[in-house]
Amino acid sequence: MLSARSLFQEIIDNDESYRLFCSIAASGETQGGWENARIAALVPTGMADMAPKITRHGADEDKHGRIFQQLLRKRGLEPVPVPPETDYTMLLEKNGIGLAHSKLRAEERLTEEDIVVYLSHSRVTEQRAADQMVMLRKHFGDHPEVGRAIRMISNDEDNHLAYCHEELLRLNHEGHGRTIQRVLRESALAEIVVYRDVSLAVMEHMGRILKWPKAKSAALAAGIRGMHAYERFAGWHRAVGLAMPERRDALGGPVTPVPEPA
């Protein structure tokens, strides 16, 4: 029987599939760290009070990248190049989600609307990240090799999502409501397409590495497409709602250090 637990167990039990998984994860987290660092450096003067939290967000993402690299080193593995079709972060940018990298590489300060776009995009992608980590924590939170890393990253993703909710609600109160709702909807609908395509590409690569039979690969692809159909019809609404989180000022403290190898 196919299940998220059995699939991930297969992936982490095989060095080559584990190597690809950790490489993809490390690359995405590191890219997210760079993006947040640049946004913090270019934040508008009138929003300077947000810079420390954006910096903390980026530092957490950098930390996650180092954690995945550390997991590879513990097995004596080197990272592999990330196939472009599996690069979630790059494909989001190509589809116009978030702030363009050309803008982040420049030295011109961002506008208030840019920050609203950044936070709205982050609210959508952090919902995806938090949900994925909840699933992994449920099945592998006590795993001797990856459990500690999963628990730490999951806690951070919950903090990031809480931060996005709180800041967007504040900006909504300050008059940015229409922009927030527009960008949330556009981002959510575009993100589910990117996530479907990336999921299909990752499963295709994993299937080749693990030599899955055609029937198994076809069943997984059908499941991914079925989930996309549900999200396209109704599921995307979950990524656009805003509610005051239980965790307040979630990014107001210091970054938790990377755990030492066991």
Nearest CA among 152, 144, 174 for reference residue 75: 144
How far is residue 80 CA from its own chain's centroid? 19
Query: pLDDT per residue over 23-60, tens digit each?
Result: 999 999 999 999 999 999 999 999 999 999 999 999 99
Mean pLDDT over 201-210 rounds to 97
- Inform me whether the pLDDT recorded for 228 exceeds 70: yes
Q: What is the pTM of this model?
A: 0.94
Nearest CA among 92, 91, 69 for reference residue 79: 69
Query: Class for domain 4-239, per CATH?
Result: mainly alpha
> So what's the pLDDT on residue 262?
42
- Inform me whether the pLDDT recorded for 2 exceeds 90: no
Find where tokens 């805003």 sit.
Answer: 242
- Inform me whether the pLDDT recorded for 152 exceeds 70: yes
Domain ranges of the chain: 4-239
**Residue 51 to residue 41: CA distance in whole angstroms:** 7
Instruction: Output 136 or 252, whichever has higher pLDDT.
Output: 136
Please report the DSSP string for 210-258 in residue order.
HT--HHHHHHHHHHHHHHHHHHHHTGGGGGT-----SS-STTSSPPPPP
